[in-house]
């Protein structure tokens, strides 16, 4: 059974007169891992941010788990409950402890009890190997630790799909691996993932499909083997040439 969890049909987005996303058609099956890459300004972050309405699309359709994303607030809430997100700059809440960061949404959105939420949170913190930091504040953690906390925070809402918006781009080089390891683990557990990233090793290792974007369009879509060894379009060849040296 391969259920569609995300569908985009002829989706377009403009910032004022600037056409950022052009006729995007994309389908993601449950359990699929997709890596989105492309030069900066190609619209890949915007694409991902449209899925949970951090950005609004102007025409075309987006369905998440069968719910259409419209201005209907109820639908937006349903979709946000289904979609977890990890940001480039972590966006942890600096005034709350790590544990409070994780339990905030389960308690206020899912109406779980505090004990229940804390138990689940500790479980995920252990999973990202950071259980001993639960009572610290984000400011006391390293970048890699912060990003692992951010992943755990998103997981606490039990999402059906996880969006990663350049999760390792703001990290010092020696911390990239610890975050990627967590993401690989997540992939192995069967999580549906959409990752905007330039970590090509990660793409080779876990991606079912690589999507290459340029100037707001999906230029190429292929399995990683084909994409890296035998790219079809000129733009992707050029791009790969630049990042793989």
Note the residues at the interface with another protein (CB under 8 A): 52-54, 77, 80-81, 83-85, 87, 89, 91-95, 104-105, 108-109, 137-140, 153-154, 157
**Choice between 61 and 89, CB closer to another protein:** 89
* Distance of closest approach, residue 18 Cβ to another protein, in angstroms: 19
* Distance of closest approach, residue 84 Cβ to another protein, in angstroms: 7
**Choice between 6 and 200, CB closer to another protein:** 6
* Distance of closest approach, residue 32 Cβ to another protein, in angstroms: 20
Q: Both tokens of residue 240? A: 């790969």
Q: Both tokens of residue 220? A: 């190429």
* Distance of closest approach, residue 33 Cβ to another protein, in angstroms: 20
**Choice between 80 and 235, CB closer to another protein:** 80
**Choice between 15 and 225, CB closer to another protein:** 15
**Choice between 61 and 95, CB closer to another protein:** 95
* Distance of closest approach, residue 90 Cβ to another protein, in angstroms: 8
Neighbours of 126 (CB within 10 A): 13
């Amino acid at each position: 059974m391969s259920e569609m969890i995300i569908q985009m049909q002829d989706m377009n987005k403009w910032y004022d007169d600037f056409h950022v996303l052009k006729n995007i058609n994309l389908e993601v099956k449950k359990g699929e891992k997709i890596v989105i890459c492309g030069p900066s300004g190609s619209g890949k972050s915007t694409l991902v941010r449209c899925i949970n309405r951090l950005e609004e699309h102007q025409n075309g359709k987006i369905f998440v788990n069968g719910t259409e994303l419209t201005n209907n607030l109820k639908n937006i809430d349903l979709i946000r409950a289904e979609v977890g997100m990890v940001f480039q700059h972590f966006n942890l809440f600096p005034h709350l402890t790590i544990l409070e960061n994780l339990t905030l949404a389960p308690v206020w959105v899912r109406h779980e009890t505090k004990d229940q939420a804390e138990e689940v949170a500790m479980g995920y913190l252990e999973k990202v190997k950071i259980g001993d930091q639960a009572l610290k504040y984000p400011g006391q953690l390293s970048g890699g630790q912060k990003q692992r906390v951010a992943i755990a925070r998103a997981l606490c809402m039990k999402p059906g799909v996880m969006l990663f918006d350049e999760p390792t781009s703001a990290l010092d080089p020696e911390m990239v691996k610890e975050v990627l390891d967590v993401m690989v683990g997540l992939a192995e557990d069967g999580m549906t993932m959409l990752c905007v990233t330039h970590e090509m090793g990660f793409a080779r290792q876990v991606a079912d499909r690589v999507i290459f974007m340029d100037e707001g369009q999906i230029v190429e879509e292929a399995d990683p083997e084909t994409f890296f060894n035998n790219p079809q379009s000129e733009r992707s060849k050029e791009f790969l040439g630049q990042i793989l040296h």
